[in-house]
Structure 1
């Protein structure tokens, strides 16, 4: 009997433009990075994602959103957890050129869980 692979829950704070591209993908994939964005960084906890969406995205984009999604845990082993500040400021750093492969390992759909204006 084969089942669903073990997954890890990730969070992504995002602005309205990126969220629209996710919506256009059918909530299945993150859009390619812009030239000035060499890394895609999902985060490992909801509180950190909320802080970025609320405190940064709203200020710069007029709104901020938090998404939640599942990724095959075995696949994620290639990306060491990065501590980008305090103990709970944890991210994965996915090189832009690996984003298509990363997207292929998303299990289910990307879910919008918070919106801040």
Structure 2
């Protein structure tokens, strides 16, 4: 019997130091639950957009911004709506906070930090 590798989709998430610490506490395998004022978890579909948010929004607000990259099972992502948040390449997935635990169960491998801004 052979294991068939699950097709995955690469996603990025711009984040500040507080959220990144929570991801570290979860062994780089899951995103923390949303706060009450955060009804949507929104990873983004392109690295450039994630860099702009981390650099231009997280740094002024939090003193540091990070871009993370992670893989999610492609079949699972079909149920998450893609939202255009501006230009053609400014695309986000909208995952309702109450579905984040299930989303986390479909992450393949670990969440990695690929950029850091201060």
TM-score for the superposition, normalised by structure 2: 0.98
1:94 aligns with 2:95: yes
Aligned to 2:48: 47
Separation in 2 of the partners of 1:8 and 1:22? Answer: 19
Taking the aligned partners of 2:117 and 2:24, their CA distance within structure 1 comes to 17
1:37 alignment partner in structure 2: 38
Flag structure 1 segments of 5+ consecutive residues without an equivalent.
none
Q: How does 1:57-96 map to 2 (within 5 A)?
A: 57-96=58-97
Q: Deviations over 1:13-65 (max 9, x none)?
A: 00000000000110000000000000000000000000000000001000000
Quote how far apart the aligned CAs of 1:81 are: 1.3
Q: Secondary structure at the match of 1:111?
A: strand
- 4+ runs deviating over 4 angstroms: none
Which residue number corresponds to residue 7 of structure 2?
A: 6
Following the alignment from structure 1 to structure 2, what is the Cα–Cα distance between the partners of residues 2 and 77? Answer: 22
Residues 1:56 and 2:57 are matched in the alignment: yes
- List gaps (5 residues or longer) in structure 2: none
Matched position secondary structure for 2:30: coil
The whole-number CA distance in structure 1 between the counterparts of 2:5 and 2:19 is 28
Whole-angstrom CA distance in 2 between matches of 1:57 and 1:100: 24
Normalization by structure 1: what TM-score?
Answer: 0.99
- Cα RMSD (Å) of the superposition? 0.5
Q: In the aligned structure 2, how far is the partner of 1:97 from the partner of 1:81? A: 17
Residue 33 of structure 2 aligns to a residue in which SS? coil
